[in-house]
Amino acid sequence: MLCELAEGHGRPEAAGIRVEGLVTQPEPAAIVSTTVPTLERAMKRLRELGLISTGYRSLIIRDLPALSAVAEDPEGALGR
């Protein structure tokens, strides 16, 4: 979902691809059929890996190819 947001609504900048005007956490959690705590843990791990930065209703995807790899193999990439 984050890769699709970056490709469809992202704006390139020096730090990565910025996506603004994001919805609140319950909405994307429902879209991907998970709970808010699970979404929060996944987002925290992506931040720890340096793949994303988050702010108030904004997201910077710092490494889109690596994020795409995580999307393909979340178990391996996130170290679960």
Q: Comparing 4-8, 11-15, 66-70, which segment has the lowest mean pLDDT?
A: 4-8
Tens-place pLDDT, residues 8-27? 888 999 999 998 876 667 77
Query: What pLDDT is stored for residue 77 in this prediction?
Result: 59
Cβ atoms within 10 Å, residue 75: 8
Q: What are phi and psi of 54, to 5 degrees?
A: -125, 150
Q: What is the pTM of this model?
A: 0.78
Does 80 have pLDDT greater than 60? no
Q: 2-58 — its CATH code?
A: 1.10.10.10
Q: Domain segments of the chain: what residues?
A: 2-58
Tens-place pLDDT, residues 24-60? 677 777 777 888 888 888 889 999 999 999 888 888 9
